[in-house]
Amino acid sequence: MTVLLLDTNIVSILFNRNHALRSKCIEAVAGRQLVMSLMTRAELLLWPAANNWGMQRREPLGQRMDAYLTLYADERTCSMRVDIVSQWRHRGQPMQTTDAWIAASARQWACPIVTTEFFARFLRAAGNRSFGYFAIRVPA
């Protein structure tokens, strides 16, 4: 079974029943094992605190997140993150902290990242060859 690492934007789309890209995302990931990095998990856990959610909204979020295996960082992940950030800085293209952790998880576990076209363009522009990715195309 193919394992896919979901970027936070994709998990967010999958959680939102009314999102225009939800059906495309479901189709793209169907039949695959889906995982998320520790950074995506942390970003999702921030939503209730940042948006003052009550228990009625917090509980379903936890249940949805439990459907995905979370890839936690270890020493190897940290080293890979350092390499990725360093490589991108040398190219003059800084990487967001969250994206660096997601990229390190993808590299460590050899999982393609599923993301939206916007982030995929960023990866292509950087000449990325460190980890695989594919994009959910956003309609024009």
pLDDT at position 123 is 59
Looking at the structure of the chain, the number of domains it has is 1
Q: Detail the DSSP E strand segments found in the chain.
A: 3-6, 33-37, 69-71, 113-116, 133-136
pLDDT at position 32 is 92
Is the pTM for the entire model greater than 0.95?
Answer: no
**CATH code, domain with 49:** 3.40.50.1010
pLDDT at position 138 is 45
Note the pLDDT tens digit of each residue in 28-85.
899 999 999 999 999 999 999 999 998 888 888 988 999 999 999 999 999 999 988 8
Contacts of 101 (CB under 8 A, 6+ apart): 37, 38, 39, 73, 77, 81
Note the pLDDT tens digit of each residue in 80-133.
999 888 988 888 877 888 888 988 898 889 888 888 866 665 555 445 555 555
Element housing 87 (H / E): helix 75-90
pLDDT at position 120 is 62
Nearest to 100 by CA among 81, 126, 72, 119: 81
pLDDT at position 33 is 94
pLDDT at position 124 is 55
Where in the sequence is the domain holding 61, given as residue range(s)? 3-136
